[in-house]
Amino acid sequence: MSRTVDRVVAGLAEMEARLPEDDGVRAFAHVYRVVTEQVGQALTEAGTFADPTFVERLDVGFAGLFFDAESAARSGREVPPAWAPLAQARRRPGVLPIQQVLAGMNAHINHDLAVAVVQTCEQAGRRVDDPDVAADFQGVNDVLARVVRPIRQTFLDQAVVQAGAPLSPMADAVSMWSIDKARDAAWASALALWHVRGVPLVADRMRLSLAHMVGLVSRGLLLPLQP
């Protein structure tokens, strides 16, 4: 595992240790750490990515957006709109860990990932529409598919077993959120943001609109579903 990805993993582990067990941000940080460990492992495997250095840079910049949002919440500063719903519902009664984890994934993938792809391409002198960038983006998708689905099912199984039949609507609700569709949407958003980057007013409005739309989805995911 690379040293830069190591630092991301260490930061997530520190967050897990610092936050209380019933904190939804902690639940998301745990899943994120496990996923990042797997991405770091994939970076050491020959042939997984066309440009491992770019993927590593993207991984670190992507994580930085989450760390910035958590830092803002911790210090009482304004939380980015995509993250505000989870910050507000992180210890809300009746909201289950699976809901908080999915809200975190929603904010981080549907908003932060698109922003991070554009920022990383600008810093690395690459283009979002470069075939190698698209291939590496898909390579990360393949790693996530192996890791996230079992974790998500574990959270869901625990919630349903604990609460029984009354939680069946919750199972239906959270099943509608798909990490594959989220990353497809993130890629489309990254392409759109890339092509308007030269028009700051349009780019800023697009990013803000995306953040608020993602936040709206998270608010739906975080409705209390347990008495």
Residues in the chain, how many?
A: 227
Structural domain range at position 194: 3-221
For the stretch 166-188, pLDDT in tens is: 555 555 556 567 788 889 999 99
CA nearest neighbour of 114 among 133, 86, 89 = 133
135 located within any domain: yes
Full-prediction pTM beyond 0.75? yes
Cα–Cα dist 86/88, whole Å: 5
Tokens of 86: 């989870």
227 located within any domain: no
96 located within any domain: yes
Give residues with Cβ within 8 angstroms of 163, minimum separation 6. Answer: 226
226 located within any domain: no
For the stretch 191-212, pLDDT in tens is: 999 999 999 999 999 999 999 9
157 located within any domain: yes
Lookup result for tokens 């050491």? 44
pLDDT class for 153, splitting at 50, 70, 90?
Answer: low
- Angle (CA) 106 112 113, round 5°: 90
Residue 140 in contact with residue 55, Cβ under 8 Å?
Answer: yes
pLDDT given for residue 32 in this prediction: 94
When mean pLDDT is compared across 7-11, 105-109, 165-169, the lowest value belongs to 165-169
Residue 12 in contact with residue 33, Cβ under 8 Å?
Answer: yes
161 located within any domain: yes
